[in-house]
Structure 1
Amino acid sequence: MSTLAVKVEFGGGLELLFSNERSHRVTIPALVPASPSTDDDAPKKPADLTYLIHWLKDNLLKERAELFVENGTVRPGILVLVNDADWELEGEGEYQLKEGDEIVFISTLHGG
């Protein structure tokens, strides 16, 4: 099975939810199930940003998932950059990940 290596960074306090580590190198499957299924023969699609968000929640997030994910995507107040560009310019969750991509999550919400 082929995989993709991507760099993931967290800032603005989000790193506290991920073992207090700002930068992570992760390897994920290049092809993922097109729909939630345990069937190995299920149709596959290229891994996208939505898949990565769920993978991070399930594999790296140490606490308080509600501060990172809401309604199947990142919660409001988190800026997502794909190779230094706002993810809104790249198709948001539908952006198909590529080898070597750099994905940055920055919380813009600060306590007072």
Structure 2
Amino acid sequence: MSSIETGKHYNQPASNLTDKVPPVDTRKYFDAVTKSLSKAKEPPTAKDAVSSQPDGSSVKSYLHIITKYTSGMELLIKDKELGLDHVFEVNPKAAPLNMKDLIKYIGETHVLEGKQSAFTRDETICPGIMVIINECDWEVMDELDYVLKNDDTIEFISTLHGG
């Protein structure tokens, strides 16, 4: 009989197994993980914001936006992801980014070739697409004029599939 048939390796008490495993120094493990994570480069966010140089000039500012696509909208997106993270470099002296800018950007960079007309029309979202900004209908959030804020979550939901 093989060891699988007799189950001799699977029916041992847990105490017998732990006796054979050397103890783990969890502090060393935690320190090693923390050190490796601190070396990982994360994308900048608006929390990094604008900081001043000694000469008074400002450095880059960033805006982090999450977009989600559901109920069939994901079929229009190149990445085929239900959600995408976007980090935009923002000029603090320029006009703030709004939904109109975001829709144009998504239409030009993330919507499949030939499918743009199913996403945007006349610089706005096509009828049949519901837009949710931070869990609130964009119709009460100034629609195209809504100024994007750091860590906003924008959802695009096709109502043609029941929304």
Give the TM interval when normalised to the shorter protein.
Answer: 0.7 to 0.9
Relative distance call for 1:72 and 1:11 in structure 2 (3 A) is same
Listed as ranges, the gaps of 5+ residues in structure 2 are 1-59
When the two structures are superposed, what TM-score results if normalisation uses the length of structure 1? 0.82
Identity of aligned residues (%): 33
d(CA) in 1 for partners of 2:148, 2:105? 13
Matched, 1:22 2:73: no
Alignment deviations for residues 24-57 of structure 1 (CA, whole Å, 9 cap, x no partner):
001123349xxxxxxxxxx831000110000111
Distance change (3 Å), C-alpha of 1:52 and 1:31: farther
Structure 1 residues 90 and 82: alpha-carbon distance in aligned structure 2, compared to 1, 3 A threshold: same
Aligned residue number for residue 96 of structure 2: 46
- Residue in 2 that maps onto 1:38: none
Aligned-pair CA distance for 1:60: 1.2
Tell me if the contact between 1:29 and 1:47 (Cα under 8 Å) persists in the aligned partners.
Answer: no
Q: Shift in Å at residue 17 of structure 1? A: 1.1
Runs of 5+ in structure 1 lacking a partner? 33-42
Equivalent residue of 1:47, what SS? coil
2:110 equivalent in structure 1: 60
Q: Which has the higher strand share?
A: 1
Counting helix residues as a fraction of each chain, which structure ranks higher? 2
Q: Counterpart of 1:86?
A: 137
- 2:152 equivalent to 1:101: yes
What TM-score results when the alignment is normalised by the length of structure 2? 0.58
Partner of 2:61: 2
RCO higher in structure (CA 8 A, sep ≥6)? 1
Q: CA RMSD in A?
A: 1.6
Instruction: Give, in angstroms, the shift of residue 86 of structure 1.
Output: 0.3
Letter in 1 for 2:117: E
Shift of residue 82, structure 1, vs aligned partner: 0.4
Deviation at 1:3, TM superposition (A): 1.8
**Aligned positions, number:** 100
